[in-house]
Chains A and B, each alone.
Chain A
């Protein structure tokens, strides 16, 4: 019974574990290098978790599958980068946040409210519209070049743990701080939802819109709040990514990886978004670094680039084996 029920999931877990161990089959893999790759994956994963969290929040509270989350990341990053040219970052970031809140309000007013009670699919398509609008609008007002965000943290990698691993581990201070900030934000949000009255109201809304409304929770305001939070989360992700890779159009697509993350984790689960992000971050980095060269050699490929699809294929596998994700709730269709 247990095998029948959980067999596929266990198999998938075993596969993931095997993936983690496999690099050591190649004797030239040093533990130090391995840990470096692992850490790199975890750091990317924290960012995925962050974007996925915004995504899960919106889905939980309004039932909207927000395709525009990636576009929001780009928009916020562009705003901060360009404002940062005029003013110090400590001013640009709050201003950017204010812009994201205003944006959330506009989206609620102009898109969500008129579409209330529509089918989920219509709302989803509306967020596709929002995606395109934001991509176009962002580049119209902020520009479409590559911009830099200077967080003022040294970019040179630091050698650490030389005593533990031969040759030590190269760690980027910027990455490290970014990961800490992101992790703190994730923890903060989790607390916010568990502890504060607004958080409780949001969870009530997520459980049952109508019931929540009937006990006097203002639905529209709740939506503005979650979209604002999602916007701010997008901004943090955008700033960190932007500082690392430069603020450019491709950010929008990188952030799209939050989609497979939430599928992996389960749409309605905050924990799922976090764990899913880490799995995908580590998984794709490992695949790129260790599996990539093997594939390139075996099939004579013109370069690796597995990163581009690994997350989606993993999500696809999950969908086939466990559609509700790691932490999602299974629901029953009523007739």
Chain B
């Protein structure tokens, strides 16, 4: 009854093409932003910031990045954590060796370096498809794992192989409390989400999706697969590289090469499968889901009076992730984002059945 686009006529293509064409959606989004910026900082606890909100904002960014190449362009990657690692170590070395650089510049450069590496590992996508490509991307994963663990220069000859960072500073603002980190990341995520949205609704986005849906037909209407696939890999790796730098600098503060292992790559993949492939909103849903599940698993049984060990919780987590992936693939291949869309569709008709 309240969610209805009746009477909202579009008189120009520009207004028909805006991001949220329905008034109620715009109001909802505005409300959400007000809550995120004005309410959450006052109510959330440090625990909530550190164990949920901060990782959520970064992983959502990484999930968007992965979604661009897997969900939008249809090129599978099992090694995206490697590009996060590239971003993180690039940022670490930039800050270390060029301390006068603004952190935002560092972020962009780290993203660009990750994009360059992603481009190289995206080259096999020109010759091979789907599953083969999956294995090729594993090469990126294992090679980068090794590179950052063994080549001492990257970790500045640290004995343990782990690196430490100082708090991020942007234009004199030292981002070190949980609230500040949250706000900083929130702004970054919003900016990058808008950019991603623009890309996927522009012709580059259509090229990606065309390659994903029917690559031969795409070629016949004049889309160059080389360009489409490589840009998808580059942009995706850029996003993931930025996310990696943020993960290292803002979330972890210090990290070891293992921080960006295959497990993280697969987790990113799960986020977009469960959240929704080819959906930016789905990337948010997936990231939130994957972060919340372990927390719930640790706390709910205890609340119910059947505490389980951490090891057991982690095994259960694996099982539940695995089962959920199969479940979603069978029941709703488009993930939580599709469920959300169906909900909205229902709301449009409510309270009339048809």
> Residues of A at under 8 Å CB distance from B?
65, 67, 110-111, 114-115, 118, 120-122, 124-126, 128-137, 139-140, 144, 253, 256, 259-260, 263, 299-306, 308-309, 312-313, 315-316, 319-320, 323, 333, 335
Q: Tell which of A114, A301, A335 touches B330, judged by Cβ atoms closer than 8 Å.
A: A114
- Say whether B134 contacts A124, CB under 8 Å: yes
Cα distance A320–B120 in the bound complex, in angstroms: 12
8 closest A-B pairs by CB = A136-B318, A133-B322, A129-B325, A132-B322, A136-B319, A312-B139, A309-B142, A65-B131
Q: Mark B279-318, 1 if CB is under 8 A from A, else 0.
A: 0000000000000000000000000000000011011111
CB distance from B117 to the nearest CB of A (A): 14
Q: Is the interface of B mostly helix, strand, loop or mixed?
A: helix
- Say whether A309 contacts B146, CB under 8 Å: yes
Interface hit among B102-110, B121-129, B239-247, B344-352: B121-129
Cα distance A300–B157 in the bound complex, in angstroms: 10
Q: What are the residues of chain B within 8 A of A302 when measuring CB–CB? A: 149-152, 161
Chain A minimum-CB-distance residue to B328: A129
The answer to whether the Cβ of B216 comes within 8 Å of any Cβ in the partner chain is yes
Q: Say whether, besides A132-B321, A140-B319, A302-B161, A319 and B132 are in contact (CB < 8 Å).
A: yes
Q: Say whether, besides A124-B130, A124-B131, A305-B146, A140 and B315 are in contact (CB < 8 Å).
A: yes
Q: What are the residues of chain A within 8 A of B94 when measuring CB–CB? A: none
Chain A minimum-CB-distance residue to B267: A132
Pull 16 A–B residue pairs with CB atoms less than 8 Å apart, ordered by A.
Answer: A114-B330, A115-B329, A126-B326, A132-B266, A133-B322, A137-B318, A139-B315, A140-B319, A260-B138, A308-B142, A312-B139, A319-B124, A320-B123, A323-B128, A323-B132, A335-B216
- Say whether B134 contacts A134, CB under 8 Å: no
Q: Tell which of B74, B127, B130, B326 touches A319, judged by Cβ atoms closer than 8 Å.
A: B127
> Residues of B at under 8 Å CB distance from A?
74, 76, 123-124, 127-128, 130-132, 134-136, 138-139, 141-143, 145-146, 149-152, 161, 216, 220, 262, 266, 269-270, 273, 311-312, 314-326, 329-330, 333
- Say whether A125 contacts B325, CB under 8 Å: yes
- Say whether A110 contacts B161, CB under 8 Å: no
Chain A minimum-CB-distance residue to B323: A133
Q: Tell which of A134, A256, A299, A313 touches B322, judged by Cβ atoms closer than 8 Å.
A: A134
Q: What are the residues of chain B within 8 A of A309 when measuring CB–CB? A: 139, 142-143, 145-146
- Say whether B135 contacts A132, CB under 8 Å: no
CB distance from B66 to the nearest CB of A (A): 13
Chain B minimum-CB-distance residue to A114: B330
